[in-house]
Amino acid sequence: MLSHLALTCVSLLVTFAAVRWFIRDSYKLDGFSQKHVFITGCDSGFGNLLAKQLDRKGFKVIAACLSEKGAADLAAAASPRLKTLLLNVTDSAGIRSAVDFVSREVGERGLWGLVNNAGRAIPIGPTEWMQLEDFIKVLDVNLVGLIDVTLQFLPLLKKAQGRVVNVASILGRLSLIGGGYCPSKYGVESFSDSLRKTMHCFGLKVSIIEPGFFKTTITSPDLIGDDLRRLWTRLPQDIRDSYGATYVEDYVRMQTFSLGMLCSSDIAQVTRCMEHALTARYPRKRYAAGWDAKLIWIPLSYLPSFVADFVVSMLLPVPEVGRKP
């Protein structure tokens, strides 16, 4: 009888907490037409879609693209309100020029939103196939570039008591692949957590987006496969022998199959999270984007490491030396 009463009380409390959370989560701000948002990596993928989505909502979007073609295509697809500029996030002087441009645009209002979205993945593959510069190439864009952009834009964001939205990944919680990508995304998680804590008292809010797997250029099996073959051909013969002659093609085949199974084409699932982080009265600290992130990867990241290791071993081939006779 007593345990029945306790169970009912707990269920009511949980239901109340969930309803309260949903209501709080749905509160939205207004006055978007007076708010500026700066997004990096808008040539393609999430950044490109977000720029158009926020533009349609009335935001003053400043979209940074890596290439002139990317910028021209985006400008042609958006309203005249949307401004584009060229930015390579590994170029500190370029970031300074972008800050100057944005300060002139925002004036005394400051910058409402910074979305650190630019990123690259390759080279990815077995860690032993990598050289130091392979790690640096990726870390420079995904982590050092993101930190540089954030630090340089911080005064403008502080002025507006704005939002920073950093794109990490479920690979910032689970190291499913070798190369600089996972370390860079773990770094984004950590940098964002410390930024959130230190800027909280100034009214600045920081959100982390953790997408699962989505079909964009970064997950293109052809690009990843070609790069894996490049890494393989530069390996010394004794290392190749330890993996076995067919290993690289087995790896490419299994990776292509896994990406085909896992990658969702509905990239709006990610941009909806980004939009929520910029428009909600109470933005979340973390957004898991995609069914695979919510149901597989994030839960897996809380389980003991041997479980995650087992899952990875199912997704990739075993080198010749590790195969049972």
Catalytic residues, by residue number, are 181
- We find the least distance from the C-beta atom of residue 141 to ligand NAP, in angstroms, to be 4
* Residue nearer to ligand NAP on the CB measure, 199 or 289: 289
Q: Which two tokens stand for residue 263?
A: 């990658």
| DSSP result, 151-167 | HHHHHHHHHHT-EEEEE
Of 166-195, binders to ligand NAP (CB under 6 A) are 167, 169
12 to 2, 25, 54: CA distances (angstroms): 15, 20, 38
- We find the least distance from the C-beta atom of residue 98 to ligand NAP, in angstroms, to be 11
Beta bridge partners of 264: 214
| DSSP result, 139-153 | HIIIIIIHHHHHHHH
- We find the least distance from the C-beta atom of residue 84 to ligand NAP, in angstroms, to be 12
C-beta atoms surrounding 7 within 10 Å? 10
Q: Any contact of residue 317 with ligand NAP (CB under 6 A)? A: no
* Residue nearer to ligand NAP on the CB measure, 142 or 243: 142
* Residue nearer to ligand NAP on the CB measure, 242 or 258: 258
Q: Which stretch binds ligand NAP (CB under 6 A): 45-53, 149-157, 276-284, 313-321?
A: 45-53
Q: Which stretch binds ligand NAP (CB under 6 A): 52-60, 195-203, 212-220, 233-241?
A: 212-220
State the burial class of residue 29 (Cβ atoms within 10 Å of its Cβ: 0-12, 13-18, 19+): middle
C-beta atoms surrounding 95 within 10 Å? 22
Q: Which stretch binds ligand NAP (CB under 6 A): 16-24, 50-58, 85-93, 104-112?
A: 85-93
* Residue nearer to ligand NAP on the CB measure, 172 or 283: 172
- In angstroms, the CA 42 to CA 52 distance is 10
Single-letter amino acid, residue 23: I
Q: Please name the residues in contact with 165: beta carbons below 8 A apart, sequence gap of 6 or more.
A: 113, 114, 115, 116, 206, 207, 209, 274, 277, 278
- We find the least distance from the C-beta atom of residue 9 to ligand NAP, in angstroms, to be 40
DSSP summary character for residue 114 = E
DSSP summary character for residue 36 = E
Q: Which stretch binds ligand NAP (CB under 6 A): 2-10, 64-72, 193-201, 221-229?
A: 64-72
Residue with smallest beta-carbon separation from ligand NAP: 45
Q: Any contact of residue 256 with ligand NAP (CB under 6 A)? A: no
| Packed helices 92-106 and 146-160: angle between N→C axes, nearest 10 degrees | 20
Q: Which stretch binds ligand NAP (CB under 6 A): 9-17, 75-83, 86-94, 148-156?
A: 86-94
- In angstroms, the CA 283 to CA 163 distance is 9
Q: Examine residue 236 and say whether the peptide bond preceding it is cis (omega within 30 degrees of 0).
A: no
103-132 footprint of ligand NAP as x/- string (CB under 6 A)? --------------xxxx------------
* Residue nearer to ligand NAP on the CB measure, 69 or 281: 69
Please tell me the count of residues contacting ligand NAP according to CB under 6 A: 28
* Residue nearer to ligand NAP on the CB measure, 66 or 176: 66
Interface residue with ligand NAP, options 44, 103, 152, 242 (CB under 6 A): 44
CA nearest 218: which of 174, 173, 184?
184
- We find the least distance from the C-beta atom of residue 223 to ligand NAP, in angstroms, to be 9
Interface with ligand NAP (CB under 6 A): 40-41, 43-47, 66-67, 70, 87-90, 117-120, 141, 167, 169, 211, 213-214, 216-219
